[in-house]
Amino acid sequence: MLCYVHLPFCDRICPYCDFAVEEFRRERVERYLRALRIELENARPQEAGTTSKLSAPKLSTLYFGGGTPSALGADQIAKLLADLFAHFGAEAGGIECTLEANPSRNVEDLARYREAGVTRLSIGVQSFDDAELHRLGRDHSGAQAEAFVHAARRAGHGNVSIDLIAGAPGQTPASFAATLERAIACAPDHVSVYALTIEAGTPYARWHEREPQAFPEDDAVADLLEQAHTTLTHAGYEHYEISNFARPGFECAHNRGYWRQRDCIALGMSASGYENGLRYRNVRDFDAYCTAIESGNSARDEVERLDFADRVGEAAMLALRTSEGIEDRDFCDRFGLDMRTVFSRPIKECRRAGLLEETRHGVRLTSRGRLLANAACAQFLHPSFLPAPAASGETTS
Ligand code: SF4
């Protein structure tokens, strides 16, 4: 079982951000943490026909996303971690536990995060170019980001990831090359590179409407993503998922579990989870989330039961995001299906368009397919032909 915990607080809201975020205010943090604890306690499955609670499932990974989880100080993170570990019967340091962190925040707490059980730090660097950081509305500099990564190492963090953005306003191949160079010089174990998306309703959407020429065009962003692939793979990072690169052995186990449709319990506003074939998302609004939990109700807003065809389509789509792609053997083991039969039409069409290639073990996206991944993956979401579900070896936890 994976566990995702959403910690929505940020010191200020970046103008391109469309995540479920809240400006940091002490009393709201305290209310939210109380609600999280209640949600966690209620998450324990109940024994059929009784009021007794069963023991919580075994946890394999824990992920604090946001928001800026490191906006909470070490004491709050340590207390929350202690509650989570006690609830799931896990031990600090015994499982992968990721904390997203902002380089402008709480550098003095890095050692205590680790002592509390954080085993993986994911740092929102975004760029090492100060002008780009300023336009992104970030409150750190490139030098601060470098200092934060080095401080994390000194504090004993052995698994450090950094996030970068491709397609920031004013970004050029030369400025991106400099960012990649400084990223590699910091020697992170893992690098995520996300294309900037202009989300409706954000200040960036209004800026983009007024001044589209301030933003790199789609082709230019695709070139930046190719540049990231070339530079990072040349530096020894494996491009193991569309947006993710890792030194061997440092792939994110939590995300790998998600791409394998592992069960994931989700806690916090807007968090989305998957348990026993149910995909769900908690309500996105802060007050609605806290009020629902405080009144003894569930915070789940959207709940969808995935039928067999949904699970097969989603499994293919998620697998395509990874460097292994959809593997014949794995698909047969999990679903009792021959994936080449089930997906014969999208495979043919994607191959014809140069988006997909065959490997010895299955099919995977080409470099062009990675750039057009949404279009390619969408074709696999709804399998057109499915025999009646065979006895399947698929497990979901
Ligand atoms: S720090 Fe991250 S989560 Fe917070 S507002 Fe900026 S982009 Fe959004």
pLDDT in tens, 5-45: 999 999 999 999 999 999 999 999 999 999 999 999 998 66
Determine the Cα–Cα distance for residues 394 and 397; give it in Å rounded to an integer: 9
Reply yes or no on whether the pLDDT at 390 is more than 60.
no
CB 125 less than 6 A from any atom of ligand 1: no
Report whether 241 contacts 233 (CB < 8 A): no
The amino acid occupying position 108 is E
Quick one: what percent of the chain has pLDDT higher than 70?
94
CB 104 less than 6 A from any atom of ligand 1: no
**Which token pair is 276?**
């026993």
**Given this model, what pLDDT does residue 218 score?**
93
Q: Which of 3-7, 236-240, 259-263, 284-288 has the lowest mean pLDDT?
A: 259-263
Reply yes or no on whether the pLDDT at 395 is more than 60.
no
Question: When comparing pLDDT for 267 and 48, which is higher?
Answer: 267
Determine the Cα–Cα distance for residues 267 and 293; give it in Å rounded to an integer: 11
**Given this model, what pLDDT does residue 57 score?**
82
**Given this model, what pLDDT does residue 397 score?**
35
CB 8 less than 6 A from any atom of ligand 1: no
Question: When comparing pLDDT for 382 and 302, which is higher?
Answer: 302
Reply yes or no on whether the pLDDT at 223 is more than 80.
yes
| Residue to mutate, 7, 19, 24, 164, ligand 1, most ligand atoms under 8 Å from C-beta | 19
Give me the torsion for CA of 257, 235, 152, 136, rounded to 10°. -80
Determine the Cα–Cα distance for residues 272 and 387; give it in Å rounded to an integer: 30
Report whether 53 contacts 84 (CB < 8 A): no
10 Cα: distance to centroid of ligand 1 (angstroms):
6
71 Cα: distance to centroid of ligand 1 (angstroms):
11
CB 14 less than 6 A from any atom of ligand 1: yes
**Given this model, what pLDDT does residue 385 score?**
60
pLDDT range class, residue 180, cuts 50, 70, 90: very high
Q: pTM for the full model?
A: 0.93
67 Cα: distance to centroid of ligand 1 (angstroms):
5
Determine the Cα–Cα distance for residues 190 and 149; give it in Å rounded to an integer: 12
Alpha carbon 141 to its chain's center: 24
pLDDT range class, residue 163, cuts 50, 70, 90: very high
Average pLDDT over residues 40-57: 72
Nearest to 287 by CA among 14, 35, 61: 35
Q: Which of 43-52, 275-284, 298-307, 332-341 has the lowest mean pLDDT?
A: 43-52
Q: Which residue has the tokens 């930046």?
A: 224
Looking from the CA of residue 17, the nearest atom of ligand 1 is: 8
Average pLDDT over residues 376-397: 64
Looking from the CA of residue 18, the nearest atom of ligand 1 is: 8
Determine the Cα–Cα distance for residues 50 and 34; give it in Å rounded to an integer: 26
**Given this model, what pLDDT does residue 52 score?**
67
Report whether 281 contacts 271 (CB < 8 A): yes
Average pLDDT over residues 168-185: 97
Burial class (CB in 10 A: 0-12, 13-18, 19+), 69: buried
**Given this model, what pLDDT does residue 54 score?**
66
**Given this model, what pLDDT does residue 105 score?**
83
Work out whether the CA dihedral 200, 201, 205, 206 comes out positive or negative. Answer: positive
Question: When comparing pLDDT for 194 and 51, which is higher?
Answer: 194
pLDDT range class, residue 324, cuts 50, 70, 90: very high
Give me the torsion for CA of 383, 386, 388, 391, rounded to 10°. -70
Host H or E run for residue 358? strand 356-358
Q: How confident is the prediction for the chain on average, in pLDDT?
A: 93
